[in-house]
Structure formats: C-alpha cells, structure tokens
Chains A and B, each alone.
Chain A
C-alpha cells in the first residue's frame, strides 16, 4: 500500500539540454490507478522509470509513503514493473521467470512454487509453467509479464505500454482484466500508454504530458469536459475535438458565415484579454448534420461509416482565406451526405470550449 508523490522531479538525459521530464509534480493516492498519457517522446516512460529507479532523479524528488527515493536502488523500492516488450528472462521457464523476484528475496522453494502456482491460476498460465518464453504466444508472454509482477505483491505496479504488442481484440480484453486485477490487489498503479482510449477507460486519474511537462492531472470525465488547454482538448477524445481559430464578435465568434454564440463569462474574458480572435473547440458529437443554411455551410470531404454512426469530415465553404478549416461531426444517420455535397453543421448541445489563440490556455470555465 503506497502513496506516491512526484515533487518537481526532473530527468535530464546525458548529452541533452532539455529535460525529458520537467519539474513533474503529481500526488498519487494509495491504491489509485493513474495513467500517464501523451504523444511519443513526451516523457511518459522516463517519468515511470524515474519511479522504478531505472533513471536518475536529477532535480526534485519522488517519495513513496513519504520516503525519499533519490539514491535508492530499484531493488529496494518494492516496485514491480511490466515492460513494453515484456523483458522475460529467455533462459528461464515461465515458473522461474515468475519466481525470480521471490528467489532474490530468499523465499524457500516450496513457498515460491505455491505463490507462482496461485498467480498462474489467476492468469490461466498453469499449463505453461515449464515452458520457455520463446515457446509462448504474444498474449501468453504478456500474461507471464503480468504474473511476474503480481506474485511479488508489491507496493507499486509500474506498467509501460504493456498492451501495445497485442492485437486490437486482445488488447480490449486484457485492458479490462488488468483494471479488474488492480482493483482486486489494491496496489497503487502507474500505467503508461500513448493510447488515449486506454487512458480514459482504465485510469482513476489521468496525467497528460507533453514535451516533459504535465498539462493536466484529472479524472477522465474532467479531462473530457474541461480540458485546461487546446493540447489536452485535441489529445483526449476520438476523433479529436474540432479546434478552429475564429474572429471574435460582440456575441460570440464568427464561424463561416454564421456566428457561434458564447457564454457571457467567456466573452468577458476574451474582452479582458483584448483578443480579436480565439481558438474554439467543439467535439464531433456536439455538431449535427443539417440542411444548407441551417448552420455553418460545409462541403463533405469524407464520410467514415462505423456501423452504428458515421463521422462526417468536411471543410467550411465560406472560408476563403487560405487553408479552409476542417470540421468533423458525428451523425446518427447512415447517409448524412455524399462526397463533395454541401450541407450544414449545427451546434447541438453543451458548451463551446474557448482557448487563448497563442498560449492555448482555456478561457473561462
């Protein structure tokens, strides 16, 4: 059982100037499932490896249960880690792989065997205990890697993209298994992924990173409903939020030929900053398809059929200044329109997100 705190923790790799993780501050509660998410190279793995003791903490500190971890070697941190490529010991059988940490701890052989067998049962690995990792399928290897972590009954689980080598179906299945397992074991878990769907479905709270900097640390719904900046808004959600830069008018912003009304406090803040344009964000499900003239006129570029609904990709027709802005709308109709046809998008429900055009910061609540 463990509480983890990153306190302005930075990591600077040798031979680089910019920190891979820049003054990260996170408070993780006991038993919580926290997901670190962000684009490639954003420092997720580095942040996790700092916690596991595989990377030095160059500035700041990380504490586990209040104990400073700077200078503590990984083997003394009581952390189990699941690696992206599983990192199974190739010369050992599945049972030896899973029992290795227990052996290092000096546990007696039959005690070890008992724990390994129990974990194997939990993960449906009993028949494979005497096989070498090379003779397992990808999904089985993944389970062995999980098993190696859970037999240790550690304070903290670290997982670095443990599902990225699985096929889509297995990934969804394993995703729920891992989440259920974590609830059952109650160990604090830090989970790295670049897949925002995984982040949203698994995490109690999600930390979004970009270029080594923490953008937002919040529950999945909070991230979805009130992203703190345009980056988080565009990163969370699939398909991504529509982000369009638009000129500000007295009642709202001008989108195509029409005006998109904004809330009072949003307008007030825009004026306060003296902004003449803003970045506005609308999720695809906030737009609905309408007849031309009933909203913003757009021309269809692409229709993605998903069976239950479809996504309509289109660009603004009224926008004659350079590159026309593109928008995506979710439609419940199977035949929202044909390629090249002119239709309209109309805002249906929920608030418009407004961001500062330069800094990308969210304006008003």
Chain B
C-alpha cells in the first residue's frame, strides 16, 4: 500500500509539475503584493513627510471606519453596482426579447447592439462625457432642447448618475447576450402547450418564459457585479470622483488617497477592506448562483 501511494505521489508530481511555473507566477503577482499591502496597512506612512514611517498596528483601520468620506464612497460603490446591474438587466431583457424575433438584418443589428461591450472602457467613458453629456455640444442636450430641458450640465449636476449611464450602456449588451441565449434555449413546445392551455402572451411570458430566464438573469447580475466592483476608468475619465467624493467609488478613492494624497498606510487599509468585502460578497453570490444551477440541473 505504501509502495502504491509513493508511486502515485510521484505520478502526481509528474502530472501537476508543469503547472508549477504558472502557480508560482500567480502567487508572485497576486499574493506577494497583497502581503505587502497588509504590511503597509499597519504603518503610518505618508510619502509627503519623509521619515514619518512607524508601526501603528490596526489604527489605520480605525481611521478608515471613522472616515465619513470612506463611508460615502462605499455607499456610492454599492449604488453604482446595484443600479447598473439591475437597470442593464431590465434593458438587456427588453432588447433580447426584441432580438429574439426573426426580422431582416437581425445579424447586423445584433452585432451593432453588442459593440458597446467591446469598446475600451476609457474610450466609452470619454465618448459619454463629450459626445453625449457635454452641456454645449452634447447629444443629450441637443435632443432635449425642443422639450425645454436643453441646458443641464449632466456630468457636474448628476455625476454619479452620469457614470452609471455610461456603465449601463456598456453592460446592457452583456446582459442582453446572456438573456438571449436563455430565450433561444426555451423549448417552443412548452410555449405552445401554454397557448393551447389558454394563456395569452403576457401570461406566457410571466408564467413560463421568465422562470426559464431566471438563472440566466442571475448569472448576468452576479458576473456583472463582480466585474463592476473594479470600475475605475469611467470614474477617472468622467468626473474624477467629484465634486468632492460624490461620484467616487472605492477603487478610485483608494487611488486618490495613495497617489494624490500619498497616504500609503490608509490607502492600503482601505484596499484590504475592499478585498475582504469583495471576497465575502462574491462568495455569497457565487454560492447562490451554484445553488440555482444545481437546482435547475436536478429539475432539467
């Protein structure tokens, strides 16, 4: 038995050995910086005051939690993610329903609808800031002018909403694709059975299509939320987090504290808090997702 297990251990190394470089590389580029961040978060260290560096234990964390700006930014982050994900899921559902019909030029339209997701985030943000929201030559004001609403300074008056508009524009195609895949996997005979059983189009959608789409929508929401936690480009390009921190989210605020305020210790503490919160939330979300998928596998 011992012999067999030593053989299989050697065999195990032979099989997994080639993965070692990738593993080492991953540890070096992700875990080592994280360890450094953890270490920095215990230091009082501001680059503007050389020689000020000293160990202060967990006091940085205390400062962060007392910081009302940090709390505002955390709330902004939640609003930004939840708003974007929910609104783009609803819009994505609507567009997917339209694209699920057969009409001439459907392929072209579908490709066009997807493009926002393929554009570099920074370029998209710049486009929205200038071409869409600019108070003087932006398209939004141009369209609203006949309605007497033509002189809104979107980005400075509604900074968070503006950033969110850009993100919704970017994420609607993603949601649309997932939901369209769901719609196309909907068995037609089930819908026909519903029709014969006396259901009208709205009842069919509510009772049969929507339950079928549920897991696709959930998948979209969870994946979207995980990606959106890292949003930086849109905030940086459109509002710089301002005015004040009204439109800043966590990544941007941390960036500000570290590279504009040079407060390495506190920025590191915020980073650690963000990472921990993200891991917690996404673990819960992924668990929910796996649960619905295994549940539907049972049901399929």
A: which residues have CB within 8 A of B? Answer: 52-54, 73-75, 79-81, 83-85, 87-91, 100-101, 104-105, 132-135, 148, 152, 158
Contacts and interface: CB of A to CB of B under 8 A. Distances in A.
Contacts of A88: 190, 193
B299 interface: yes
Contacts of B298: 134-135
A74 B200 CA distance: 10
A87 B212 CA distance: 14
Contact of B189 (A53, A80, A85, A105): A85
8 contacts: A53-B196, A80-B197, A83-B189, A83-B193, A87-B193, A91-B212, A101-B198, A104-B199
Interface string B258-275: 000000000000000000
Nearest to A54: B192
Given A87-B187, A132-B299, A134-B299, A75 B192 contact: no
Q: Nearest 6 CB-CB pairs, A to B?
A: A104-B198, A101-B197, A87-B189, A91-B211, A87-B193, A134-B299
Contacts of A73: 195
Nearest to B203: A104
Interface of B: 187, 189-190, 192-200, 203, 207-208, 211-212, 298-300
Interface class of chain B by DSSP: helix
Contacts of B208: 89, 91
A134 B300 contact: yes
A75 B189 contact: no
Nearest to B195: A74
A148 B192 CA distance: 14
Contacts of A148: 193, 197
Given A89-B208, A91-B212, A79 B189 contact: no
Contacts of A100: 194, 197, 199, 207
B203 to A, nearest CB: 7
A105 B203 CA distance: 12
B198 A105 contact: yes
A271 B135 CA distance: 96
B211 A52 contact: no
A102 to B, nearest CB: 9
A81 B199 contact: no
B196 A80 contact: yes
Nearest to B200: A75
Contacts of B190: 87-90
A104 B195 CA distance: 10
A132 B187 CA distance: 17
Given A104-B203, A134-B298, A134-B300, A87 B198 contact: no
A177 to B, nearest CB: 21
Nearest to B208: A89
Contact of A81 (B193, B203, B207, B211): B193
Contacts of B193: 81, 83, 87-89, 148
Nearest to A91: B211
A47 to B, nearest CB: 15
Nearest to B187: A87
Contacts of B299: 90-91, 132-135
B259 to A, nearest CB: 51
A288 B207 CA distance: 61
A10 B65 CA distance: 75
Contacts of B197: 75, 80, 100-101, 104, 148, 152
A75 B203 CA distance: 12
Given A83-B192, A134-B298, A75 B199 contact: yes
A135 B187 CA distance: 18
A105 B198 CA distance: 7
A54 B196 contact: yes
Contacts of A132: 299
Contacts of B212: 90-91
B196 A79 contact: yes
B214 to A, nearest CB: 8
